[in-house]
Structure 1
Amino acid sequence: MIPPKPTPRPEKTSLRNYVKLFRKDILSAQPAKLYRAWMADYKTPFFRSFLVNQPTLVKRVLNEEPMNFPKSGRVAEGLRPLLGNSVFLTNGEIWLKQRRIIDPAFEGGRLKDTFPAMLGAGQAMVARLKDQTGAQDGPLDIEPYASEGAADVIFRTLFSIPITHDTASKVFEEFQGYQRAQPILNIAAFIPLPKWLPRFHRKKTRNGAKAIRKLITDLTAKRMAEIKAGTAPDDLATKIMTTADPQTGERFDTEEMVDQVAIFFLAGHETSATALAWALWLLAANPEVQDRVAEEALSLPDAPTFSDLSKLRFTKDVFRETLRLYPPVPMMVREAKCPVQFRARNVPKGAQIVLSPWHLGRHEIFWDRPHEFDPDRFKTENGKTCLRDAFIPFSSGPRVCTGAGFAMVEGPLFLALLLRAFRIETVSGKTPVPVAHLTVRSKDGIWLKLTPRERAFRG
């Protein structure tokens, strides 16, 4: 089965219609030619935008000259109410300082240290689904369960509390409403506005962001007090809040930490959830692949350890192939700090440089059978080459996602726990249609039928 993708827009369209399509869904607003283009540009009355697919140019922007292509302030406008000055939005010296404080928490043995928390969250998700399938013998939308499971990982690894904790559950509930209310771009992404002019965020967006930040502030302030009292648990929040910038000696204050926790929650929860949900649908639609993942999963001990993850080689390739087809963040936008030339074309200062994991991962020149689901492709020469040159779901270079290693542990682990517990099937008439809001979700959910694996084996 060919995995679904959005219907692209007509080749030519008005700026007004493009903005309307873009705010509704970033993917279907793009023309089909981008799956074959080395580069494409788009002019508006206010700025010029270049989408770059050529691997050498992608590496130039992300790896070789990242300070010459900072994060676009246009995109930041829409996320500012929730993320403030988080590391996801900042540039220059502020961003460098933030990374110097944050990065040590994700180095060395921290993945191994956080594995028990990930495992506990995965087992809790399996238990919730067992309760649900026991009470209701029918299809269910897996996206809410994936979201809850991914949020559980964030709270357990950051603050040593499960999703059932009162504050954690309130943050999760508020974020579900925020995700539905927040368009991927604010109007300031299309029209330059003076700094003093309001940004016209929707009321639901403003209220949701305010509520989430208040709850995170409460968690952060409590942790600050525990650190001072010497009673704080040794988790990611404590590690980040007690790490000083090696150059300035400064630490995050409460507001700065709230900004970072907001992006950890957004990036670590929302992106992991959408990747997991798409992976489960792909496995349901490809039973022979599902059987191979289940075989690996059933080879794990009842209480797997971090070292047991090495047995999930094929499962990891399944998750990697999911990220190729459905990268949670479909597009990243940088800004040219000074005039440059790309493919003999002049790129003016201030131009928007769009890097698209979605189009790069499905590029019809680079990949063999780019729109097909084939986890074995990474064993081929084409797959290995494209993995190096045309695969950027976590970005690349100095701004690569700090949680990339976490994601590549959490995703395969959750798939293994779920596939050894359930056999999964697609639901007739419920083929998911991908749309991009904050991340690449399905328009009407991802519906699956789960059968406890003991029953499935009995026939």
Structure 2
Amino acid sequence: MLPPKPPARAEKVSVWGYIKLFRRDVLSANPARLYRAKMAEFRTPFFTSYLVNEPALWKLVINERPQDFPKSGRMRAGLEPVMGRSVFVSNGADWERQRRIIDPAFEGGRLRYSFPAILAAARAAVERLGQGGRIEVEERMSHAAADVIFRALFSLPIGTTEASAVFHAFRAHQATQPLLNLAGFLPLPRWFPRFHRRSTLKTARRIRALITAMTERRAAEIAAGTAPDDLATKIMTTADPLTGQRFNTKEMVDQVATFFLAGHETSASALAWTLYLIALDPALQARLAAEADAVLGAAPDFSAVSRLRLARDVFREALRLYPPLPMLVREAAQPECFRGRAVKPGAQIVVSPWHLGRHKDLWQDPDAFCPARWQTPEGRASAREGFIPFSSGPRACTGAGFAMVEGPLILAMLAQRFTFTPVEGRLPVPVAFLTVRARDGIWLDIAPRTPA
């Protein structure tokens, strides 16, 4: 089964033509040869970029020597309006300090402790679909993912109006802000203005205003001794073991904005594409429903998630085909040699979960939707070489564990309750701005499942 992917551009295009295409959509701006290349070089008048698909190369950059390949300042320029200097975009000592404060919140039994919040959000998502109908599922999954974040971070279920505001603010932000803004193509000093669009700055301010109000309210609750024991409280009360300092309000807003992007936008994208993929296969939906009936029962506990094997494989296959973050961009801090080519300091190094997940040398039938591959030795070997939807190494997403509980659980509960059918004439076309979404949304016909 071959789900849609964006058309590849012509092999020959001018530099400025490529920049224009890239700003419109990252995925369709790239030529088809990148799905089979071990490495590709792209030159502009201002910098050189290398896409590295060879496993030994991307593992060198991401896993083995991350300190020599910090996050690209060119990419950071595009993300700063909403994410500030959070752990997602910082480097060096700043990044190490932030991880020392954040990581304890995700260690030990925190995921198990947060499971009731994830389950409550999943149940609410099921109930909001009611009797189904023709529905744009990206917005519904965005509501569900935002609800998970609100409950896990701040112990608050998200209201419909508030969830809609968050969703539309992020979508508006994506529409105005590509992964790399124009300033990212130019050799500008740090202090120089970034040329963000007025609409980009407006949507960023709206997102940060919402998060700031929540953060300030939680700080007051901590001071009064009335704060719940959730992720926000844990992070805000954790001191850096080296300096004894905690996050101030602005720093915490930066981190929460990142959690929204990493845990709300990305989870919503992955879930929406997963629902579209199962809509193409009624027999798979029936199997998912049967598994959910057998595993979840009336009151599922945390251990039930590990028994949702089919749901987990389906979700992983969706992540392979539609990784929410299509590109991880680093910068060479010193001279390197990649496949016999000299890489100068300042060169941009791109590791692409999108291209790795569909690479012809790494996967059998790479464009096909085939959840069964995850139970084969060949599929597991391919995953070790080309499956990094949450990045990898020291900078791997701290919320990856949350995603792999939230995604299969919500999928199983939805498949247990509903059937999904594609809408004729509404083929979703993947595009990438901050995350991989469908150009005109993902529309499905949803109906209550008839009990077996």
Normalising by the smaller structure, the TM-score range is over 0.9
1:357-415: CA deviations, max 9, x gaps? 01101110111111101111022222111111111110000000000000000000000
For 2:311, the equivalent position in structure 1 comes to 315
CA distance in 1, matches of 2:346, 2:285: 47
- CA drift of 1:343 comes to 0.8
Q: Which residue is equivalent to 1:156? A: 151
2:212 maps to which residue? 217
Aligned amino acid, residue 358 of structure 1: W
CA distance in 2, matches of 1:210, 1:313: 41
Q: Name the SS of the counterpart of 1:176 in structure 2.
A: helix
Q: Distance in 1 between matches of 2:314 and 2:323?
A: 13
Instruction: Answer whether contact 2:236 2:247 (CA < 8 A) is retained.
Output: yes
What amino acid maps onto 2:371 in structure 1? P
Q: Is 1:196–2:222 an aligned residue pair?
A: no
Question: Greater shift after overlay, 140-149 or 374-383?
Answer: 374-383
Question: What's the CA shift for 1:246?
Answer: 1.1
8 A contact 1:86–1:260 mirrored in 2: yes
Change in 2 beyond 3 A, CA 1:35/1:173: closer
Q: What is residue 382 of structure 1 aligned with on the other side?
A: 378
On the 8 A contact 2:50/2:347 being kept in 1, the answer is: yes
In structure 1, list runs of 5 or more residues that go unmatched: none
Amino acid at match of 1:420: Q
CA distance in 1, matches of 2:42, 2:437: 26
Q: Identify which of 411, 415, 419 aligns with 2:415.
A: 419
TM-score by length of 1: 0.96
Cα pair distance change 1:293/1:166, threshold 3 Å:
closer
Aligned pairs (5 A) from 1:380-459: 380-454=376-450
1:351 aligns with 2:347: yes
CA deviation profile, 1:315-366 (whole Å, cap 9, x unmatched): 1010001110000001110000000111111111100000000110111011
CA distance 1:166–1:256, change in 2 (3 Å): farther
Root-mean-square deviation (CA, aligned residues, Å) is: 1.3
Is 141-150 or 284-293 further displaced after alignment?
A: 284-293
Post-superposition CA distance 1:100-146 (Å, at most 9, x none): 10011111111111111111111111111115x2xxxx421111000
After TM superposition, the structure 1 = structure 2 runs for residues 81-230 of structure 1, keeping only pairs within 5 Å, are 81-130=81-130, 133=132, 138-164=133-159, 170-230=165-225
Give deviations 1:410-443, integer Å, cap 9, x for gaps.
Answer: 0000001101110111111111111101111011
* Secondary structure in structure 1 of the residue aligned to 2:410: helix
**Secondary structure of the equivalent of 1:42?**
strand
Aligned to 2:25: 25
- The residue number in structure 1 matching 2:361 is 365
Whole-Å separation in 2 of the counterparts to 1:116 and 1:192: 48
Structure 2 unaligned runs (5+)? none
Post-superposition offset of 1:198: 1.8
User: Does the CA contact (< 8 Å) of 1:171 and 1:216 recur in 2?
Assistant: no
Between the aligned partners of 2:408 and 2:217, the Cα distance in structure 1 is 33
Per-residue CA deviation, residues 17-61 of structure 1 (Å, 9 max, x unaligned), is 101110110000000001111101001000000000010111111
Distance 2:163 2:276 in 1: 27
Amino-acid identity (%): 61
For the pair 1:275 / 2:277, whether they are aligned, the reply is no
TM-score, normalised to structure 2, is 0.97
Code of the residue aligned with 2:231 in structure 1: it is: L
Partners of 1:445 and 1:101 in 2: CA distance: 37
Contact 2:143/2:164, CA 8 A, preserved across alignment: no
Q: 1:216 to 1:168 in 2, by over 3 A?
A: farther
Q: Tell me the alpha carbon deviations over residues 273-304 of structure 1, each in whole angstroms, 9 at most, x when there is no partner.
A: 00000000000102222221111112221221
Deviations along 1:206-246, one digit per CA (max 9) or x if unpaired, are 01111221221111111111111111000000000011111
Question: Mapping of 1:14-53 within 5 angstroms?
Answer: 14-53=14-53
Q: Given residue 2 of structure 2, which amino acid in structure 1 is its aligned partner?
A: I
After superposition, the C-alpha distances for 1:77-116 in whole angstroms (9 at most, x for unaligned) are 0110111110001000000000010011111111111111
Q: Is the 8 A contact 2:143 2:163 kept in 1?
A: no
Letter in 2 for 1:43: R
Residue pairs, 1:321-332, within 5 angstroms: 321-332=317-328
Q: Secondary structure of 1:139's partner?
A: strand
Report the alpha carbon displacement of residue 184 of structure 1 after superposing the two structures with TM.
2.2
